[in-house]
Chains A and B, each alone.
Chain A
């Protein structure tokens, strides 16, 4: 029998230990449990710091400061609802799982209202556990709930929060590389937060090659599909463009049925790119002659969209990665200044009657899993056993 209570790791932390309650979800990489963080009695903390001359008092103050603007929802007795993400043991022969380390590494540094908060990390035996804020809903669930209607203001609000989170990652030189509605988590008060950083990495060094086997297929950008090994923030922006479209359509915009078919699906939707659209396309590793599809004005498909929304979406779905806006540019787009004002998070649609979760369950396995494809390995671009494990079914 495993213990249900685990001591906190960080000495300066406000939490004394964590209690695990029940399993709430399972992904490829991890099993997720709900639980509680139990606070350290204030007097105890004060007592420990009273005689300290090693700088711990400053540490506590610095930790406090970064949580400015991040709302802490606690119970009256000071407990806080948490999720404990227990990473599955990956390729055991190579020790600690690399993507688990990667997710922990990135989340330790990213503190922002629109990024999931990592509260602590602990290990039990040879299992790594991340203590996360509890977020029991995601955007995919809401999109699937056909009982709720979205207004243009709701969509703007979700886009705003998504882009702020993305801008924060990029400002810290971190690419998320797996943006999709399922990884945009929603808090009780409607705040949207980027989650699941298992594919994230820092892109400080432009000379290091990266794998193109990232991002769930439907949200994967054309440069990745053409095998680019040097890419940047624009891959995340493409995914945000796809999410934007999906919020308006209520179904995935470009659901390719295979990795090869994905490019075709994109070309059919947006027209086959010309040399002028995307100079340099020809030099990508997997480039070949493509079937020519005409360009259809997006207006025909997105009949209800306002011109400013369409303009922003189109810019994020430009073929040439260099022409796509940065998250910062996108936030300065007139779409966000024009009417309607974005809906305040607390007033955004909820998963009424849990119809969205039910729709997801009814589909049997997570329907997005079909779109997942395999994931690659950064060092050499060759799939490792881990990537194969990721491939599923």
Chain B
């Protein structure tokens, strides 16, 4: 509906999704993501080398030239800790929104920061703790820390909260694929009711429900991937439904639905198809991917001990 009282404005107002910080500041193509990670890594590596040299100058203790970790080593290392976030959520019985928000904070933080300067073991709990506040599932800091392995002191936790917040640009709102996915479920149901004869409904609804349950698992897997950066939540939701439909013998019906819903805008449909296929492939790949082995993470950890930035070490003379 057009607002009858609106004055004629010279430029069209932005679409709702264009206003959210997730779209404005956290949306990148796959290529941009890689460039950004490389850039962040190289800059940090330069800082590490400089700081190590300065420390040597001060202490006169000779140290080997640091061998810095690469951006893809960091990515693996972080993925290992993302599993830990999920484990804590199960243990503390946080819902999927807290989990997905904590994961998004963690990914956003390490998109622009490195593990050579910020320890992911500390930041993963900080992500979780802030996520509980943001998603209205707040528990007291004391209770939280009791349940966390090797927890930092409360004072340190507060500093970490500020540091994390700065790293995510104080943008706490994260949109997840869960609501859009649910919206599509209802819409497909309506579509079936209006296009199929009544006797067929029961059977189709059952198939759809099974498909939806699978799609929910995919959506949860999607929060572990770069889809968080590359696609909009509604595309992820629908892509998950498509991936599930392929597995659960519902593809024909879903294709009909897509064609009928988007037939008026053919070029949009083409673009949407490309996005949905990309999402579907990514969530299927994620669900068959083995978790990062402990040994692999341990290897990065070992390498990391030789390239931590001494400026970030409270014990360093710097």
Contacts and interface: CB of A to CB of B under 8 A. Distances in A.
Interface of A: 9-10, 12, 53-55, 59, 62-63, 65-66, 68-69, 92-96, 98, 101-102, 104-106, 108-111, 121-123, 126, 128, 160, 164, 171-172, 201-202, 204-205, 208, 328, 331-332, 336-337, 342, 378-379
A54 B19 contact: no
B13 A54 contact: no
B24 A204 contact: no
B137 interface: yes
B64 interface: no
A98 B133 contact: yes
B190 interface: no
24 contacts: A12-B25, A53-B35, A54-B39, A55-B36, A63-B24, A65-B18, A69-B9, A93-B154, A95-B129, A96-B133, A96-B161, A96-B165, A98-B138, A105-B172, A108-B172, A109-B20, A109-B21, A111-B14, A128-B162, A128-B165, A201-B136, A332-B3, A332-B4, A336-B4
Interface of B: 1, 3-5, 9, 11-14, 16, 18-21, 23-25, 27-29, 31-32, 35-36, 39, 97, 129-130, 133-134, 136-138, 140-142, 154, 157-159, 161-162, 165-166, 169-173, 179
B75 to A, nearest CB: 16
Contacts of A110: 19
Contacts of A63: 24
A54 B140 contact: no
B28 to A, nearest CB: 5
**Nearest 6 interchain pairs by C-beta:** A121-B170, A105-B172, A54-B36, A55-B32, A62-B24, A53-B35
Contacts, number: 123
User: Which of B16, B24, B36, B179 gathers the greatest number of chain A CB atoms within 10 Å?
Assistant: B24
A282 to B, nearest CB: 28
B6 to A, nearest CB: 9
Given A96-B162, A123-B162, A68 B29 contact: no
Nearest to A69: B9
B19 A9 contact: no
Contacts of A202: 173
B161 A95 contact: yes
Query: Which secondary structure dominates chain A's binding surface?
Result: mixed
Contacts of B170: 9, 104, 108, 121, 128
A194 to B, nearest CB: 15
A58 to B, nearest CB: 8
Contacts of B24: 59, 62-63, 66
A369 B138 CA distance: 27
Contacts of A109: 19-21, 173
A201 B12 CA distance: 28
Nearest to A96: B161
B92 to A, nearest CB: 14
B154 A65 contact: no
A352 B20 CA distance: 38
Contact of A66 (B14, B134, B165, B166): B14
Given A55-B32, A96-B162, A69 B133 contact: no
B166 A68 contact: no
Contacts of A342: 5
A82 to B, nearest CB: 16
Given A55-B29, A94-B140, A108 B171 contact: yes
B71 to A, nearest CB: 12
A123 B161 CA distance: 11
Contact of B165 (A59, A111, A123, A332): A123
Contacts of A160: 5
A12 B21 CA distance: 13
Contact of A123 (B18, B142, B166): B166
B111 to A, nearest CB: 10
Nearest to B21: A108
B114 to A, nearest CB: 15
Contacts of B32: 53-55
B38 to A, nearest CB: 9
B18 A62 contact: yes
Nearest to A173: B179
Nearest to B174: A105
B151 to A, nearest CB: 13
B156 to A, nearest CB: 11
B12 to A, nearest CB: 8
Contacts of A95: 129, 141, 154, 157-158, 161
A62 B20 CA distance: 10
Nearest to B126: A95
Contacts of A54: 28, 32, 35-36, 39
B217 to A, nearest CB: 20
